[in-house]
């Protein structure tokens, strides 16, 4: 298959995953989202690294317009960029174990950075170590959903793409 068709398939898979973000939000499956999986997948599969960053961020922004814009978008988009960098590292190392590791690392990175931001910008949390620990503790139930969502959607994207490639529909 031509490279343009390959890019189209990858972009459509990312858009489909972004649409799942809307569905999981509608079903109130808090933090069970494809956010990290989208960044990992884009970084690992799109050869044009500008697109690796642009496609997931645009997909996120479009869903954020529907879900509602908020003050935490910057940190979430920053996390998406960092996770895309992990995906770029993963590009030539795509094994089930490495995808699993990258997905878990992405979950931890997202948890640490976004909850630090919540603690830092929210006056309801004491601005000391106890307040920070409290903020991270309160977020633990959401972390479980983050890990589950990241693993599920990473498996779906990378597994689906491998299946498509195995059917000789596209080349690497």
Q: What is the CA radius of gyration of the chain?
A: 16
pLDDT at 152 over 70: yes
pLDDT at 14 over 80: yes
Confidence at 159, pLDDT banded by 50, 70, 90:
very high
Once rounded to an integer, what is the mean pLDDT over residues 160-168?
A: 89
- Return the closest-CA partner of residue 98 out of 172, 143, 10, 158: 158
* Continuous segment of H or E residues that includes residue 105: helix 96-121
Q: Check: CB of residue 14 under 8 Å from CB of residue 42.
A: yes
Once rounded to an integer, what is the mean pLDDT over residues 17-39?
A: 92
Q: Which residues of 77-89 are buried (b: 16+ CB within 10 A; e: fewer)?
A: bebbebbbebbbe
Per-residue confidence (pLDDT) for residue 5, from 0 to 100? 84
pLDDT (tens digit per residue) in 83-118: 999 999 999 999 999 999 999 999 999 999 999 999
pLDDT at 1 over 60: no
pLDDT at 63 over 60: yes
Q: How far is CA 138 from CA 35, 93, 113, 125, 131, in A?
A: 21, 35, 15, 11, 10
pLDDT (tens digit per residue) in 123-138: 999 999 999 999 999 9
Count of residues for the chain?
A: 172
């Amino acid at each position: 298959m031509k490279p343009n068709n390959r890019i189209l398939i990858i972009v459509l898979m990312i858009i489909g995953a972004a649409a799942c973000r809307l569905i999981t939000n509608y079903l109130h499956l808090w933090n069970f989202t494809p956010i990290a999986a989208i960044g990992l997948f884009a970084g690992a599969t799109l050869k044009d690294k500008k697109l690796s960053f642009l496609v997931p961020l645009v997909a996120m922004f479009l869903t954020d317009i529907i879900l509602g814009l908020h003050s935490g978008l910057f940190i979430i988009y920053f996390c998406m960029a960092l996770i895309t960098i992990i995906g770029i590292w993963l590009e030539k190392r795509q094994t089930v174990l490495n995808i699993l590791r990258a997905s878990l690392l992405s979950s931890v990175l997202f948890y640490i950075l976004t909850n630090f931001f919540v603690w830092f910008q929210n006056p309801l949390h004491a601005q000391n170590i106890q307040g920070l620990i409290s903020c991270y503790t309160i977020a633990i139930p959401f972390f479980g959903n983050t890990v589950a969502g990241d693993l599920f959607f990473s498996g779906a994207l990378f597994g689906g793409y491998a299946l498509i490639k195995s059917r000789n529909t596209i080349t690497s």
